[in-house]
Structure 1
Amino acid sequence: MSRPTVLFVCVHNAGRSQMAAGYLQHLAGDRIDVRSAGSEPKDRINPVAIEAMAEEGIDIAAEAPKILTIDAVRASDVVITMGCGDACPIFPGKRYEDWQLDDPAGQGIEAVRRIRDEIKERVTRLVADLT
């Protein structure tokens, strides 16, 4: 079987989806292809999200927010949304999950750490499920 592809989608692709993609890449290595995108991407990654992930030894500073495209959804086996609502197109045969997570935008490091830790728990379960 080929490697599964997971797409994380949030509104700005600057916090939650970037942290989730960073964890999935870190935990799964080359066993899972990882993508992230946003329905309304910001111009840069949330610096507090970068700081919180750096505390875990994961560097997401070089990443850039990307716009969500139909092709990205079509090319993915698993699509995980995080507060982007109906912006994500639905294709038959794909696995969809909606993770209810607080938005780290405008939050301090303590709040972002809690969000990060919840993302880590969910990604860890996802890796176990897909590998």
Structure 2
Amino acid sequence: MQASVTPSVLFVCVHNAGRSQMAAGFLRALAGDRVQVFSAGSEPADRLNPVAVAAMAEVGIDITANEPRILTTDAVKAADVVITMGCGDTCPIFPGKRYEDWDLTDPAGLPIDEVRPIRDEIRARVEALVTELTS
């Protein structure tokens, strides 16, 4: 009998302050310990987008303890799935990894009414990803 391996997902966005943090928050909440979750960016901001934090709080997910992190080659190597957020950030490419680009509007500078649909689209994509990775 073969031991199961927990899949790992890395969400990447330039500033790692909005979209990638919301995606990571949803994946942690929806998959629990069935998936390892990471997020990073090539030019991390000094803090999370407060509107993204507020939008996630509205759906019961607290991402206030998260911090923007720098994208490293090691993080990409360690991930099974690497998902960019439509922000033009590039990742090192390694054979055998699954890469996706989710074309999502950047919530930076937007009011919460315009961030909610972005959040909801991220949730739908993460729900589909959870189904794929844990079925």
Could you say which TM-score interval applies, normalised by the shorter chain?
over 0.9
Q: Relative to 1, partners in 2 of residues 1:85 and 1:128: Cα closer, same or farther, differing over 3 Å?
A: same
- What aligned pairs does 1:52-63 form with structure 2 within 5 A after superposition? 52-63=55-66
Structure 2 unaligned residues grouped into runs of 5+: none
Q: Distance in 2 between matches of 1:84 and 1:75?
A: 22
Q: TM-score, normalised by structure 2?
A: 0.95
Q: 2:26 aligns with which of 20, 23, 40?
A: 23
* Correspondence for 2:93: 90
1:6-32 CA distance string (max 9 Å, x none): 000001000000000000000000000
Q: Relative to 1, partners in 2 of residues 1:27 and 1:86: Cα closer, same or farther, differing over 3 Å?
A: closer
1:87 is displaced (CA, Å) by 2.4
Contact 2:40 2:69 (8 Å CA) reproduced: yes
SS state of the match for residue 35, structure 1? strand
1:86 is displaced (CA, Å) by 5.2
Q: After the TM superposition, which parts of structure 1 deviate over 2 Å for at least 4 consecutive aligned residues?
A: 83-87
Q: Distance in 1 between matches of 2:43 and 2:105?
A: 17
Structure number with larger C-alpha Rg: 2
1:19-60 CA distance string (max 9 Å, x none): 000000000000000000011100000000000000010000
Equivalent residues, number? 131
Structure 1 unaligned residues grouped into runs of 5+: none
Query: What percent identity do the matched residue pairs reach?
Result: 73
SS state of the match for residue 91, structure 1? coil
* Correspondence for 1:74: 77
Coordinate RMSD, CA, aligned: 0.8
Q: TM-score, normalised by structure 1?
A: 0.98
AA paired with 2:103?
Q
Indicate whether 1:124 and 2:135 are aligned. Answer: no
AA paired with 1:28?
A
